[in-house]
Structure 1
Amino acid sequence: MHCHLHLLFMVIIFTSNPVLSEDKFIGDDISNQADQTFSFFKKWSCTSENEAPDCSSKDIDKIDIPLVFNSGNAIKFAHNKIEELYNPFYDNHNIIEIDFSTNKLNSITENVFANLSAVEKVDLSHNSLWTFDSETFSSMTNLQSLDLSFNGFSIIGPEIFSKLQKVKKLSLRNNNFHIIQDDTFEHLLALEELDLGDNQLSELPDQLFRYNLNLRLLCLSGNDFKKVPTEALAGIPRLYRLDLSRNKFVRLRYPAFKKLSSVNVLRLDDQPDLRSIGPQSFQGMDNLAYFYASNNDNLRFVDPKAFYDNTTDKPVQLQTFIFRHNSVTTMSGKLLDWDKLYEIDLTGNPWNCDCHLDWIIQVQIRDHLKPNLVCKHPTYLKDFQIFNMTSDQFKCSFLFNHEFTIIGTVLLIITISMIMVVFLYVIVKLLPCPKLRNPWRRSYGYSKVKVSRNGKNYDLEWDPALGDPK
């Protein structure tokens, strides 16, 4: 699942003049390059009578001449086979978008974009780029959106972004980042949306976002975090949306989100290892309104006070609670102020419809928002529609209500009995008196005599009252 941090394409408004009029290109001193550009566009059928050239999906493998643009506001070469960019582009300062996505780019010479100072959006996603010269984007002082997703970057130094102080959207999704240096984003003072999803990050420097005071949307999904990078996130004063889906959390508990009071939307979907959500896990998230935690196959327990603030003993006032396809069988009616939610989705959980879940049919949910909930347990209620049930159907048997007491009592009796048996056995073994060692042997006044016969000794007993043995 991708974050909603993708970089949106700007609306492109083309001029009505024919793009390929040879007398319209920039400056007489580059008329030869204009002629070559005309031929290049014609060769690859990038031409159109009333629109700017679009060279996307033309099977182009290289651009071996400098290209000149005198009309239109986009350079489009998406979905080709281009491996290198080494010739500069020229324009009349109207180009605001460059799209080289889904090529085979592995190298961009530093002067390629040097003449494109008006550009606001660059899409270099789905290529094989792994490094840049520090001057690659230095002329793009008006750049606002940069997409470097689905490449091979493992490290990017802050110098790459040193002149990009107007960038608002940056995507580094699906690269090879294991570590992010703490000064990587220090020049991106206007940054509002950052996508670091689908990398191999397991931690973030505590001071990583100290200069990104305008950051609003952050995606960390699809990484290797085993715990929430609390200190790094706490340094973002205006963070509004946070996506931590598809990480390796096992348990969530206080103080994971203690300093994230500005976060309004939190996503915790598709966590394969998540087992439980503990008390006060979301304490400090005073403005949390939209909570998503779905498709967590091993999530079986949510503490009744997971959303509580222990200073007020009240839960966070959510507007949306999406909790689909987890493995939770029951949930406390005190978890949230259910009647004030605008949207609830609890479908796909194996609900145990006993007396602990009867609160759910009392929740005042508008009809069009009622989730399609069904019982999984007990067997006689399997597949029952929960919102078609009555409160007297949510029953707990006497055994169920007291099972822990009964089991505990039986175990205690068994334990005490075993201790007593062992104790008596030890006492009997340690006593020196044979009679006491065998207290069940009774004496009836019999006499004993030793008799030897054929080299063997025998003990004989007789009753003296019957006379002497013979």
Structure 2
Amino acid sequence: MFVYLLILGLIIQINCATICDSDVCLCKRYNSDKEQELEGVQVVCSHKQVNVLQNNYTLPDLVHSLDLSFINISTVHSSPLLTSNALVELILNDNVITQVDVNSFQLPELKRLDLSNNQLEFIDKDTFKGVKKLEYLNLANNRFTTFTKLMFHRLSNLNEIILDNNNLGPVLNNSNLFDRSGFGLTNKIKSLSISGIHLNQVPNNFFVDAYDMRELIISNNNISQMFEIPMTLEYLDLSDNPITDIFSEDFANLVALKVLKLNNLQIQTIPESAFQYLPALKTLELERNRNLTTFSKLAFGREVLVDADNFGLERLSLKGSRVSQLDDALLTPFGVLTELDLQGNPWKCDCQIVWVKQLQIPEELNDHLR
């Protein structure tokens, strides 16, 4: 009888073992200054040769972050390891995941989920019913070409989503990410990244339900014409698109915009008033624009040429473009920049460009002007 009870006790102990009682994963105290809710124990199983989801490991009560990246998982299924009332962050990137079972996530406090760099083509919308507090979702670098209707409808607290490098462009011509007749993304979204999704155009009213979007990354697509941009943006990256022209009206209502990236476009000219109506702008990137030869002295308006007190731009980069001259009228606004990168342009070094020397630009940022 004693032996029987001893064996039974050992079986119960094994079945109830937490992942931190094993030597499979590293358990450590975790404290993030940026993410106070992630304070607690972090379990790191990354780059291990064991698929811990296939065992009966559970999580200790204090585990707030679980890293299951790079462990060759192909299917995410219901597991004691994915049942927790404390877990806030789940990292599943860089596996070979092709399937996520509907009842996989029993994580009512989960706020961050990373499924990037896998082989997912489909996720059932009911998969998210156990993670209703989710705020961050990364689905980049998978094989999605569409989503089920109202895919994201349950995620009412989501404020950041990354969909980069999925072939979603064609379906977004006819289905809206936000619309209730589309994929049901919440209007609480503050950050959206749809870089490299083969998007040819942005349909009218595409962002009409994005009431409070602050960051939009829509780079590395096939967009050739500007579109209606959410007025609440603070960060906009349009780089690596075949956009041929920009005009002042394209950015006229973006009064909160702080960072604008227009790298590697097909533009030839920065016209008058192009950036005049961006009072909050701090960083402007115009790098690798191989067709860009003309930069209007009135690009930031006329007033700043006389008085730069209201010129808030701090960083401007024209690196790797084809600009050969800049009007000396720009001395006043450019003089208040903290960083001006002019390297990699075919500057015409004559008297008309001598004024740039007065700006005291570090030599590494103004080659060909020395």
What TM-score do the two structures reach when normalised by structure 1? 0.64
Instruction: Say if 2:136 is the partner of 1:136.
Output: no
Which runs of structure 2 are paired with 1:58-457 in the superposition (5 Å)?
58-60=48-50, 63-64=53-54, 67-71=57-61, 72-89=63-80, 90-113=82-105, 115-157=106-148, 159-179=150-170, 180=172, 181-182=175-176, 183=179, 186-229=184-227, 231=228, 233=229, 236-271=230-265, 273-308=266-301, 317=311, 318-335=313-330, 337-362=333-358, 365=359, 367=360, 372-375=365-368, 385=370
Counterpart AA for 1:290: T
The 8 Å contact of residues 64 and 89 in structure 2, kept in 1 or not, is answered as yes
> Helix, strand or coil: the match of 2:204?
coil
CA distance in 1, matches of 2:156, 2:138: 16
Runs of 4+ in 1 over 6 A off after TM superposition: 31-34, 39-44, 312-316
The 8 Å contact of residues 190 and 212 in structure 2, kept in 1 or not, is answered as yes
CA distance in 1, matches of 2:316, 2:28: 52
> Helix, strand or coil: the match of 2:354?
helix
* Deviation by residue 1:386-442 (Cα, 9 ceiling, x = unmatched): xxxxxxxxxxxxxxxxxxxxxxxxxxxxxxxxxxxxxxxxxxxxxxxxxxxxxxxxx
CA distance in 1, matches of 2:346, 2:328: 17
* Deviation by residue 1:166-209 (Cα, 9 ceiling, x = unmatched): 12221111111214232257542332211111221122233222
Q: Could you say which residue in structure 1 is the equivalent of 2:45?
A: 55
* Deviation by residue 1:149-180 (Cα, 9 ceiling, x = unmatched): 11111223462211212122211111112142
Q: Could you say which residue in structure 2 is the equivalent of 1:388?
A: none
Q: How many residues align?
A: 337
C-alpha RMSD of the superposition: 3.2
Between structure 1 and structure 2, the one with the greater Rg is 1
CA distance in 1, matches of 2:352, 2:323: 13
Which 10-residue stretch deviates more, 52-61 or 124-133? 52-61
* Deviation by residue 1:259-301 (Cα, 9 ceiling, x = unmatched): 3232121011233x33332333334333323111112223222
CA distance in 1, matches of 2:148, 2:234: 26
Counterpart AA for 1:304: K
Any gaps of 5 or more consecutive residues in structure 2?
Answer: 1-9, 30-40
Any gaps of 5 or more consecutive residues in structure 1?
Answer: 1-30, 376-383, 386-470
* Deviation by residue 1:22-72 (Cα, 9 ceiling, x = unmatched): xxxxxxxxx989744749888882366996643221134583456532332
Q: How big is the shift at 1:92?
A: 4.2
CA distance in 2, matches of 1:341, 1:160: 45
* Deviation by residue 1:327-380 (Cα, 9 ceiling, x = unmatched): 111112235722222222212211101232233234xx3x575665344xxxxx
What TM-score do the two structures reach when normalised by structure 2? 0.80
> Helix, strand or coil: the match of 2:161?
strand
**Structure 1 residues 67 and 374: CA distance shift in structure 2, 3 A:** closer
Counterpart AA for 2:234: Y
Q: Could you say which residue in structure 1 is the equivalent of 2:25?
A: 46
Q: How big is the shift at 1:304?
A: 2.8
CA distance in 2, matches of 1:270, 1:349: 14
The 8 Å contact of residues 219 and 243 in structure 1, kept in 2 or not, is answered as yes
Counterpart AA for 2:44: D
Counterpart AA for 1:56: S
**Structure 1 residues 186 and 237: CA distance shift in structure 2, 3 A:** farther
**Structure 1 residues 282 and 95: CA distance shift in structure 2, 3 A:** same
**Structure 1 residues 87 and 252: CA distance shift in structure 2, 3 A:** same
